[in-house]
Homo-oligomer: A and B are copies of this chain.
């Protein structure tokens, strides 16, 4: 599977059951959210602004897409955190058949423009690593079936490399979309 297949297989609306494990505190966090993944046109203004902001402004945005999410988290409700919906624009630029970079208009853990590296394992799992200001995230996503995606993440402290949190999401495609 290359990046083009990965993105086209991901297009649609997904119900995500996600669990975070805070290792130091043995704390579980459960979140149910809806994700919508849409392809974007290469001429989309947001795509061109994002490319211009990045160090890849001279590259062709081969595979732009957006993710729109809305979540309900037990933990977020407790903390009165209202940041439970949002969207980001992503551009994939492949550097070889099985690796490349993503430019994201905002990261998941820190709200800044983020660059990620990705590569594919030999079974088609994509492994995405992103350095943020304080943390580094490794995400691996694989398709359990056409309509179920699994996503496991490890968040490390950028300084100490200590593992702060792991998380796992089971993403089920809304069948009306399939």
Interface residues of A (CB under 8 A from B): 15, 17, 19, 21, 23, 26, 28, 30, 32, 121-123, 125, 127, 138, 144-145, 148, 150, 152, 154, 161, 163, 166, 168, 170, 172
Contact = CB atoms under 8 A, between A and B. Distances in A.
A21 B168 CA distance: 10
A23 B19 contact: no
B28 A23 contact: no
Contact of A26 (B15, B163, B166): B15
A26 B19 contact: no
A168 B169 CA distance: 9
19 contacts: A15-B26, A17-B21, A17-B23, A19-B19, A19-B21, A19-B28, A23-B148, A23-B170, A121-B122, A121-B123, A125-B125, A144-B163, A144-B166, A148-B154, A148-B163, A150-B152, A150-B154, A152-B152, A166-B170
A46 to B, nearest CB: 32
Given A121-B123, A152-B168, A163-B145, A28 B17 contact: yes
